[in-house]
Amino acid sequence: MQNHGRAGVAAAWMEHEGVVLDIGCAAGMFSLLSKGNGVTGVGVDISPLSLRQAKKDTPGFDFALASAEQLPWIDRAFDTVLMLDVLEHVPCESKALAEVDRVLRPGGRLIISVPNNGEFRWVDAQNSLLFALGRKAMNRGGEPMYHRHYSLEELKALMPPSFRLSRQRYGGLLLFPLCGYFTMLTDNINMNWLSSFIRSVEQVDFDHDYGLKSWHLMAEFIKEG
């Protein structure tokens, strides 16, 4: 089983060639999955370390250091914008989505993934005291990236007026967040084989739709007008 998670779903939802902006691209998984299928574009992230890895793993794709709230591109520059596990972290949701609206052409698509406001939203490694103490003990520095959780209705309410919901997908329940706790440890002690196994378990849970109880939510919005 391929452990592609949200990037795998986004790649499967790409129905045509176009210019894509991947906001919060991390190590460039979407670009890697899309290589050779006619998709072009650029990935942006606020982490220089992640961008170095993305450039190494996906030669031929462009990557840039930028934040979701200040995108260095002209209006209507992209056919598709991705925000995969990004919105829950940004300081100002409305500002980030206004930037998406600005750089996305009419008829273009926003594909977004967020933690769902579901049954087990309280089981979140990113929001736990354990996670914060672990970062401190390992001298990782910085504040933990707090996760907001959204229902579909809450997500729709945040969108610019011209954005229409096209489709949505739920996935994962309890195994998904619990795996986050374990990989927090195994990644930091470089037990890559164990991290890979845990992520395969995470993927199994992610592939099941538990409806409104789900841990995870993905949605596609079309920009009209």
Each residue's pLDDT tens digit, 129-183: 655 454 444 444 445 456 899 999 999 999 999 999 999 999 999 888 888 778 8
In a domain, 77, yes or no: yes
Give the CATH number for residue 79. 3.40.50.150
Residue 96 neighbours by CB under 8 Å, 6+ apart? 23, 68, 69, 83, 86, 87, 90
Residue 175, token pair as written in the block: 């195994």
Q: In this model, does residue 32 exceed pLDDT 70?
A: no
Is residue 135 domain-resident? no
Answer yes or no: is 194 within a domain: no
Domain assignment present for residue 138? The answer is: no
Residue 11 lies in a domain: yes
Is 51 inside a domain boundary? yes
Residue 208: the pLDDT is 93
Which pLDDT tens digit goes with each residue over 191-218? 888 888 988 888 899 999 999 999 999 9
- For 90-142, the pLDDT digits (tens) are 999 999 999 999 999 999 999 999 999 988 888 787 766 655 454 444 444 44
Q: Is residue 48 part of a domain?
A: yes
Indicate the number of domains in the chain: 1
The predicted model scores a pTM of 0.86
H helix runs in the chain, sequence order: 5-13, 29-34, 48-57, 93-103, 129-137, 152-158, 175-188, 192-206
Q: Which domain holds residue 93?
A: 5-119+146-172+210-223
Residue 84 lies in a domain: yes
